[in-house]
Structure 1
């Protein structure tokens, strides 16, 4: 499996280096207008990010296979590994050099254009000419948990723009896909007509709501169990993961009533035993509340009782609030312990006046003649 996976990423790296090389040759002939420079810069950055991503994965594959390489094949294997490394390093060097020259060219254009404006014109358009920072799009490798963040940013930055052609959007899209995601649209030619087809295929493969919900629920079912209630790091990670997954479900329009009760049980299973006891003590079940209500009615029949039963969503909010309070309490306790430790260290390093008198050797001498053969009073 490792050899097959490595072959796939070697092929992907070869495609990337060839495409980058062709792009470098073609981009040299483009004009030096500011809008062209911005477009070329985005594409160069995309090539660099994709190449580094594939190269990093290929290195991991090489590390896995390295122990199983036979001695008689070692020289050939290592020569091939270094050949791919050198190919990637070479194209990255050219890409970075081209990017450096491009940014220098844009700085020169900005300088020359700004110097031609009058002072009054600068004052007039100070606010309107301010340039917003560029939105950097991350690459999508084909993992389901990456799709929603990737697509939302890509949709706003590229897909919904009316000033870009379908071919331009296709180039942006293909430059931000690697691995399995890149293979999904590898058969399409970057044209206006094919862009919508490529997007539809990606949405069918990775934007399917049922698949995304199943994947998110699987992630929730695989939450790690915490052994100690004092492990604030794992407790915060558990809380953060749950919040992230529930937000994903909300974004997919899944009502909390469909998963709250099951998720509550999963979370309780992940918490330490003593934390579960404290939670049930603070948030008793419906049966316990009903029993208490009956006892209250028997004790004072004239007093009316109110119903305290909560729905699944309230139960989920209860346990999340409980975990958040646990985290806050543990962090406050850690701060207090740190403060005590620092205070103790300071106290140990400070000496009292009596200690200084008993531990410091003070030379006795006459304050008039500075002789140490007799005291001042003599």
Structure 2
């Protein structure tokens, strides 16, 4: 055990030295891609060596001392990965810049739009919402998992993007290359099972809020939000293979149950013979919302005109007419003349 402890101390020392190398490179005004890439690869090897000896020590430790040792190892690892993450992000920025320079040199006549650098991509966080899993995993797989970066880097990126229930799902795994695949498998098993995703999409359709009939464009806005949410769940179900006449047979009643009474009544009038036609129902719903929107907009316009006319009539009623003004002026002149005549007498 003493030999293993000495071996771990040496491994930690090499990791610390390589971190200092990364730190020194990152503060340089002009960073070499080759130098930075080599420093990251060296760090990965040093960290892998530390992981190996750490695993050997964990096997030898008694249960009482194991938890304390794991906590210390985890703290050291997390602290070490701070500069490692910064170094990898800087390397990706440099590589993108290098690609842009090469593209500009090969196409000197290219448009300014082609030469513009795209904004930095930020991957979405995943908190454990089953209906968001496929979107999250597709993006992560494309931009991280399918790349050639070290496996330990992929694991670190994955952990940084997980929150809530999703993070709890794999929090017991140590941050090692060997555990990356295990973490991915656990997440897929927990959140990526097609039957569970389908269930949550259908449940979301059933639990959707039915807009209450009211006046104004606010009601129209709620109708559009309801329709957009339904369409999102339906297209997601189709992507999972839930499509065809049999699926329309149960999805159409589900959607109808979430529609306002007046729209459902209109569907009953117009949809004879189309009780299981999902696409027709979606088209009908869109047209109904458009008609309602036009009606509310016209109502606001005509209401505004009516209000203006009423205000004008009211103003006319309160303002004196020309005849009334003339009589008032005549009365004032007559009183003034009479007053002058009285003073002369």
1:345 CA drift (Å)? 4.5
Q: d(CA) in 1 for partners of 2:158 and 2:287?
A: 43
The 5 Å alignment of 1:1-378 reads 31-32=26-27, 33=31, 129-162=115-148, 164-228=149-213, 231-285=219-273, 312=276, 315-347=277-309, 358=321
Asked whether the equivalents of residues 142 and 180 of structure 1 are also in contact (C-alpha less than 8 Å), the reply is yes
| 1:222-258 Cα distance to aligned partner (Å, 9 max, x none) | 2333443864233223212210111111121222434
Higher alpha-carbon Rg: 2
Identify if the C-alpha distance between structure 1 residues 324 and 170 changes in structure 2 by more than 3 Å, giving closer, same or farther: same
Which residues of structure 2 form unaligned runs of 5+?
A: 1-18, 37-81, 99-104, 330-335, 338-345
Identify if the C-alpha distance between structure 1 residues 128 and 165 changes in structure 2 by more than 3 Å, giving closer, same or farther: farther
Identify if the C-alpha distance between structure 1 residues 171 and 29 changes in structure 2 by more than 3 Å, giving closer, same or farther: farther
SS at match of 1:270: coil
| 1:286-343 Cα distance to aligned partner (Å, 9 max, x none) | xxxxxxxxxxxxxxxxxxxxxxxx683xx11222222111110111112112222333
Give the aligned CA root-mean-square deviation in angstroms.
Answer: 4.4
Q: d(CA) in 1 for partners of 2:295 and 2:275?
A: 33
SS at match of 1:259: helix
Q: d(CA) in 2 for partners of 1:327 and 1:203?
A: 39
Q: d(CA) in 2 for partners of 1:189 and 1:275?
A: 55
Asked whether the equivalents of residues 126 and 162 of structure 2 are also in contact (C-alpha less than 8 Å), the reply is yes
Q: Aligned residues, how many?
A: 243
SS at match of 2:321: helix
1:123 CA drift (Å)? 5.7
SS at match of 1:133: coil
Identify if the C-alpha distance between structure 1 residues 147 and 30 changes in structure 2 by more than 3 Å, giving closer, same or farther: farther
1:29 CA drift (Å)? 5.1
Q: d(CA) in 1 for partners of 2:147 and 2:131?
A: 25
Partner of 2:65: none
Q: d(CA) in 2 for partners of 1:122 and 1:187?
A: 50
Partner of 1:68: none
SS at match of 1:237: helix
SS at match of 2:221: helix
Q: d(CA) in 2 for partners of 1:185 and 1:128?
A: 41
SS at match of 2:128: coil
Q: d(CA) in 1 for partners of 2:179 and 2:256?
A: 49
Identify if the C-alpha distance between structure 1 residues 361 and 135 changes in structure 2 by more than 3 Å, giving closer, same or farther: farther
Which residues of structure 1 form unaligned runs of 5+?
A: 1-24, 37-94, 114-119, 286-309, 365-372
TM-score, normalized by length of structure 1?
0.53
Identify if the C-alpha distance between structure 1 residues 191 and 344 changes in structure 2 by more than 3 Å, giving closer, same or farther: same
Identify if the C-alpha distance between structure 1 residues 128 and 242 changes in structure 2 by more than 3 Å, giving closer, same or farther: closer
1:122 CA drift (Å)? 11
Q: d(CA) in 2 for partners of 1:321 and 1:146?
A: 26
